[in-house]
Copies of this chain bind each other. A is one copy, B any other.
Amino acid sequence: MEKNVMEAATKKSTAPAFIRADALLEHWQGHRRLSRRVIEAFPEDKLFTYSIGGMRPFSELALEMIHTAAPGLRGIVVDRWMTREEVNKSFPKPKSREELLQLWDRVTEQLNSLWPHLSEQRFNETVKVFGQYEGTVTWAILYFIDNEIHHRGQGYVYLRSLGIEPPFFWER
């Protein structure tokens, strides 16, 4: 996955820094605040049932974001990956929007407390995310964020097709 990015990042580039760790975390949390508002924008039943083209309902897309972000960043920091079962136990499938939002907010706290443990050296090291996907830490974290933006964009289509105006994309 994204072999070129991996190579560019592992080469110990001396190119200008594009973004530093503190700003990147804030950027990520800004995206997460928007995704939280998308969860809130769904009528509660539609959150768990509505989809288009055989895709998953938004609650399941949001749970994927949760399962990726906190167990993912934890794996990177402690260098041990939770199994699928451990992830499901740690962040069990929510039965209501309120439960989903509680999981969401736990992830927010966890990301904030894990983040300071990362260094530029660690960003450039190669990891095997959940024992499966190999790339640099930078690549992995961008993948977590991009995957959230990707699925959240799909939630926007669900909302529009339900006649609901989604939150502004630029508000974080």
Binding site for B on A (CB under 8 A): 1-2, 4-5, 8-9, 13-24, 26-27, 30-31, 52-55, 118-120, 123, 133, 138, 141-143, 146-147, 149-154, 156-163, 169-172
Contacts and interface: CB of A to CB of B under 8 A. Distances in A.
Nearest to A133: B170
A172 B2 CA distance: 5
B2 A30 contact: yes
A83 to B, nearest CB: 21
Contact of A20 (B4, B16, B119): B16
Contacts of A141: 18
B52 A123 contact: no
Given A143-B170, A150-B149, A172-B4, A22 B26 contact: no
Nearest to A146: B149
Contacts of A151: 153
Contacts of A133: 170
Given A13-B23, A138-B23, A149-B146, A172 B5 contact: yes
